[in-house]
Amino acid sequence: MRRTIPDLTEDIWHHIHSLMPMHDAARVACLSRAFLHSWRCYPNLSLSRDIVRSKEHACRGDLSNKIDHILRNHSGRLKVLKLGLDGISCRYLDSWLHIAVTAGIEELTLMPFRHKYNVPSSLFSDGVRYSIRYLELGFCTFRPTAELGPLRSLTSLHLCTLRITGDELECLLSKALALEQLVIIDCKEIICLKVPCVLQQLSYLKIIGWWRLRAVESKAPNLSNFFLSGEIRKVSLGETSRIKNLTLFRSNVVCYARSELSCTMPNLETLVLSSDEEVVNTPILPTKFLYLKHLTIYMVSGLSFSPSYDYFSLVSFLLASPSLETLILNVTQQCMEHESAVGGSSHLRKMPEHQHCCLKSVEIIGFSSAKGLVELACFILKNAVSLECLTLDTLYGPRCFGKSDKRCISMSNSVLSEAPRAVTAIREYIEDKVPSTVQLTVLEPCSRCHTRPGWFLSQIV
C-alpha cells in the first residue's frame, strides 16, 4: 500500500529535515507543523550576524535574543555548530557555548573576532571530548592546561589567528592522539611549533606563518602531506620519506627544492612551489624525483621577476622526474625584463635529447617572449613523446571565454603590450614544432574585455 506524506513517522520527518540546507530547514519549519518540531532537532547550525539578523531587526539586542533562543531550542541535539559573530559580548559567548556545546557534538567552529575572548577549557566536558571530531578556533584566545582531558575523537584541528603559545599548543596536541589533520594560520604567539611523536595518525600538516614563527619541528611518524608558507628558518620533519604531497611558499624555493628535496623526500608524488624571487638558476643535478607525477611552480612577482634568472634552467626538473605527468608553470609578471626571443640576434639554445615518456599535459601561465621560456617550450615539444596538450596563456587570471555575464580580469598596459610579442614568439619558434598528436592552445587577450582590437582566443590543433 502506498503511504502518503502525513503517514510518515517522526523519525523519517526528522531525517528528511536534517538533509535540507539550514536556510531551507528554517523556512519550512515556519510553514509546516510537520517540520516545526523536527526543526528543534535539526543537527547543523551555522550562525553569523548576516544570517541571523533580518532587515527589520538590526539592533544588537534583537540579534542576541534570536541567537539565544535558537541555541536553547537546539541544546543537546547539535552535531555541527558554526559561530562567526563579531562584536558580541563575551558573556553571551560563554552562555551560548555552554548551552549548545554538549555531549554528542561532532564539529565546532568558533570565530568570535574578539581576541580578548578566552575559550574556556571547561567547554570540553567529558561528553564533548569523546564526541568532537572537528575543531576550528579563530580570532580569539585559547589557553589549554594540563587539566584538559583527552580529546579522543578529534581528527581535525584548525587554528587561525588564535592566541595560543607553542607550549600550550603542544599540550593541546598531546591530548588529541587520533588527530589526522592540523592547520595553523598566523598564530602570532607561536615561535617554535613542535608536533609530538604521539600523533601517530597525523598525515596532513598545513602551516602559514608570516609573523614570529621561526621553527617547525615535527616528530609525527606518518606525515604524508605538508604545506608550508612563510620564511621559517628551521624546518625539521623527522622521517620525511613518507611525504608524498608537498607545498612550499617562500623565496628561492625552486632552487632549494631541486637541490635538497630529491634526497630528503624521495617519494614525492605532488610538488607545489611558489617563489617571488630566485637568486640562483635551477641547477642540473644527478639526483632524481623518481615518483613525482604532478609539478606546479609559481614564479610570480608584483613587478618583474629577476631578469638574471634563466627560465630554461627549469629543464632540470624534467630531467630529474621520469614519472612526471603534469606540469603547470606560472611566470606572471607585470614587467618582462628578460631577453626577448623576438628580434634578438642569438639563436635558441638546445640541449641533448632526453626522451620523456610520461609527460602528458603542460600549461604555462603568463607566457612571454622571454627567450628562456621559448626554449623551455621547444625542449618539451621535442622530448615529451607522450605529450597530449600544451597550453600557453599570454595573460593570467579568470577569463570570460565569450560569456556575456562574465568579464576577464583587468590587465596593466605593460602586460597587454607584452602579449603580442609572446604570440609572435609562439608563431616563429614553437608552432611549427608541434607534433600532430599534440594540441596547442594559445590564449591571447580577449577582444571584448581588453581594449586593443584584434586580440582573441585561438585554438590551434
pLDDT at position 284 is 94
pTM equals: 0.86
Number of Cβ within a 10 Å radius of residue 337: 14
Q: What is the separation of C-alpha 77 from the centre of its chain, rounded to a whole number of angstroms? A: 32
pLDDT digits 0-9 by tens, 194-228: 999 999 999 999 999 867 889 999 999 999 999 99
CA dihedral sign, ordered 292, 203, 156, 220: negative
CA atoms of 157 and 171, how far apart (whole Å): 14
**Side-chain half-sphere of 242: how many Cα atoms within 13 Å?**
15
Task: For residue range 361-403, list pLDDT tens digits in order.
Answer: 999 999 999 999 999 999 999 999 999 999 999 998 888 877 8
Query: Tell me, what's the pLDDT at 446?
Result: 83
pLDDT (0 to 100) of residue 17: 57
Pair 294, 326: CB distance under 8 Å: yes
What pLDDT, on the 0 to 100 scale, is given for residue 314? 97
- Residue 259: DSSP 8-state: I
Helices 10-18, 22-31: inter-axial angle, 10-degree rounding:
140
Q: Which three cell numbers stand for residue 145?
A: 592546561
The confidence score (pLDDT) of residue 405 equals: 77
pLDDT recorded at residue 256: 94
CA count, 13 A, side-chain hemisphere, 20: 18
pLDDT at 59: 45
| 392 and 364 Cβ atoms separated by less than 8 Å | yes
What is the per-residue pLDDT for 66? 81
Q: What pLDDT was estimated at residue 29?
A: 58
Residue ranges in the chain whose pLDDT is less than 50: 1, 3-4, 54-60, 452-461
- Say whether 46 sits in a helix, a strand or coil: strand
Amino acid at 350: K
pLDDT of residue 60: 46
Cell of 360: 602528458
- How many CA atoms lie less than 13 Å away from 399 in the CB half-sphere? 16
